[in-house]
Structure 1
Amino acid sequence: MTEITLIRHGQANSGARNEEDYDRLSPLGRQQAEWLGAHLRATGGFERLISGTLRRQEETAAALNLDGRPHHRDARLNELDYFGLSHAIQARHGIPFPDSPDAFAAHVPQVLDLWRNGDAGEGHESYDAFRNRVLGAVEDAAGDGAGAVLVTSTGVIATLCALALGLEAVMKARMFLRVMNTSVHRFDYSDGTLHLSQFGAIPHLDHPDRHAARTHF
């Protein structure tokens, strides 16, 4: 059995309406990652760092500052194309892009459901292809041995949790919305099966003076 740790990137540019503008850490996002890095260095047990190739993921990995441990990049850890899917679904189904946190919370289940059912139009990575690539990234990381920290994004984490727990699509959408920035998730991989052992830990933000730094967007 091999333990794999997944971390969501720090807070990005949450007011953006396209991927290019969104894909960078906010000052708070960088601080979140630095605090988490200090916690990880104090607790140990990590031999290597793997991130996706998105800017916010790489910036988070760099801000963790894990004492010179090797940093590998794997594009299979990149997020689903939420902005692209959203704009395609708006054009196809008339569902507007959200303009508030409450609207976003209602938007996510609609987008994920239409995407999973193949109703998001052409030209996008399919749900099955996304699921297979993220599971493949975890399988390969586990195959290289214990002690891997993977920096990724909400959709990847929620998908892996849903696979490990056998959740229906509606529950996956709810989980998508509960993954905090720089939260820590642990999985055990054994005999080709993924098991969730920890969801959404934020020990680096449990200090009373850091509670305001807990963010989802």
Structure 2
Amino acid sequence: MTKLTLIRHGQANSGARTEIDYDRLSPLGHQQARWLGEHLRQTGGFDRVVSGTLRRQEETAAALNLDDRPHHSDRRLNELDYFGLSHTLQEREGLPFPDTPEAFAAHVPQVLDLWRRGNAGADHESYEDFRARVMGALEDAAQDGPGAVLVTSTGVIATLCALALGLEAVMKARMFLKVMNTSVHRFEFHGGVLHINQFGATPHLDYPDRHAARTHY
């Protein structure tokens, strides 16, 4: 069995309406990552860090402060193009970009359904290609041996959970909305089959004085 730990990046610029504006950690996002790094150093069990190439993912990996472990980048761990897909949905369906947490929760299933059904158009990475690259990144990390910490994003984690559990699209969208910033998720390959061992743990934020630092956006 090869076990891998996936981490969602810290809180980014949650008020953004474009990928460029969103793609940087907030001050709280940096703090979330530093706390998680302290926890990982205390518990051990990993020998390398792999992150996507998005700024918020690389900033999270750096803020973990695990400089005694090698850090590699793999763009296959990058997030789906949520902002691009949202703009397509707005143009085709007249659905405005959400401006409240409640509106965002309703928006996510619609965007993912548009994408999954292949209605986003040739300008966007297909759902099948996204799923294939995510699985490829995990399989390659597993071949390099156990003990990897992979810093990635919500869509990647939710997709892997859905694949491991055989979930339909509606349930995947619900998981997408429940992945907190710097939450910890553990997967393993056993006999070539992907299994999930842990979802959404936040041990570094479970102290009473850190509860307010638990964020989804």
- Listed as ranges, the gaps of 5+ residues in structure 2 are none
CA distance in 2, matches of 1:130, 1:193: 19
**Residue 195 (structure 1) aligned with residue 195 (structure 2):** yes
Identity %: 80
Does structure 2 conserve the Cα–Cα contact (< 8 Å) formed by 1:50 and 1:149? yes
The residue that corresponds to 1:157 in the other structure is: 157
CA distance in 2, matches of 1:137, 1:173: 21
The residue that corresponds to 2:131 in the other structure is: 131
Give the C-alpha shift of residue 93 in structure 1: 1.5
Question: Which amino acid letter does the alignment assign opposite residue 61 of structure 1?
Answer: A
Give the C-alpha shift of residue 122 in structure 1: 2.7
CA distance in 2, matches of 1:136, 1:121: 23
Deviations 1:88-129 (A, max 9, x none): 111112111111110000000000011000112230000000
The residue that corresponds to 1:208 in the other structure is: 208
Does structure 2 conserve the Cα–Cα contact (< 8 Å) formed by 1:10 and 1:30? yes
Does structure 2 conserve the Cα–Cα contact (< 8 Å) formed by 1:92 and 1:120? no
CA distance in 2, matches of 1:56, 1:122: 26
CA distance in 2, matches of 1:94, 1:185: 36
Does structure 2 conserve the Cα–Cα contact (< 8 Å) formed by 1:98 and 1:104? yes
CA distance in 2, matches of 1:109, 1:120: 14
Give the C-alpha shift of residue 155 in structure 1: 0.1
The residue that corresponds to 2:69 in the other structure is: 69
**Residue 98 (structure 1) aligned with residue 98 (structure 2):** yes
**Residue 121 (structure 1) aligned with residue 121 (structure 2):** yes
After superposition, where does 1:1-217 map in structure 2 within 5 Å? 1-217=1-217
Give the C-alpha shift of residue 191 in structure 1: 2.2
TM-score with structure 1 length normalisation?
A: 0.99
Q: Report how many aligned residue pairs link the two structures.
A: 217
Does structure 2 conserve the Cα–Cα contact (< 8 Å) formed by 1:89 and 1:121? no
Q: Secondary structure at the match of 1:84?
A: helix
Q: Which sits farther off after the overlay, 62-71 or 49-58?
A: 62-71
CA distance in 2, matches of 1:120, 1:126: 8
Structure 1 runs (4+) deviating above 6 angstroms are none
Give the C-alpha shift of residue 80 in structure 1: 0.1
